[in-house]
Amino acid sequence: MITRICLVRHGETDWNVARRLQGFTDIPLNAEGLRQAHAAATHLTQEGFDAIYSSDLQRALATAQIIGRQIDVPVELDEHLRERNFGQLQGLTPDEAAERFPDIQPRVRARELEATPPDGESLAVFAERVHKGLDGIARRHPGQTVLAVAHGGVLDIAYRIATGMPLSAPRDFALGNATLNWISWDGANWAMLAWDQRAHLDRNLDELPL
């Protein structure tokens, strides 16, 4: 009973373009992000999805709703799929974050598991949340195909869950807006099926490095 999950990062936002850290800040899709969501929706009509889950942040939810309308599957909210809460780093570029928070930003950038931005959450806590969410989706849909629309940070954790890559290891894989990324669960183990599918896109931006 293999459960397949297609993870989609939300479409582009103005803060993606400005290279500002979004986290829990509820930023909408821009015009390009809407186009990307529609392109992903058209591409995914060839797949048969049994359910769609989405982060409750509007950039992910709008992307999920566009896809859901195209493939006629309702969207269910799952707060486990929210982006990491970066607290007071949110709204800043990497340079601004380094200047204003010189004690914590380098530790967050280095992927220290317990490094916690002011008013935010650590990588360890965030990863546990995402893992719990993905496990819950897989248990609810044994043998089915599910779409999950989320954020770059969530996809980062999912990649590591599926491949065994340590949370602390530097990222060496893409996390583009509106790309398609497939993982699976067989009841005992997660596995990678495909990553960074982008044939439906003219362009996209990679996840912001801190």
**Residues carrying an active site annotation:** 10, 83
Place of tokens 């993606």: 16
The tens digit of pLDDT for each residue in 153-207 reads 999 999 999 999 999 999 999 999 999 999 999 999 999 999 999 999 988 888 8
Percent of the chain exceeding pLDDT 90 equals 95
Task: Please tell me the predicted confidence (pLDDT) of residue 206.
Answer: 86
Q: What is the pLDDT of residue 210?
A: 60
Task: Decide if pLDDT at 208 tops 80.
Answer: no
Q: Quick one: pLDDT at residue 207?
A: 83
Segment 56-62 shows an average pLDDT of 98
The distance from CA 125 to its chain's CA centroid, rounded to whole angstroms, is 16
What is the sign of the dihedral through the CA atoms of 139, 144, 150 and 151? positive
Question: Do 178 and 16 form a contact (C-beta atoms < 8 A)?
Answer: no
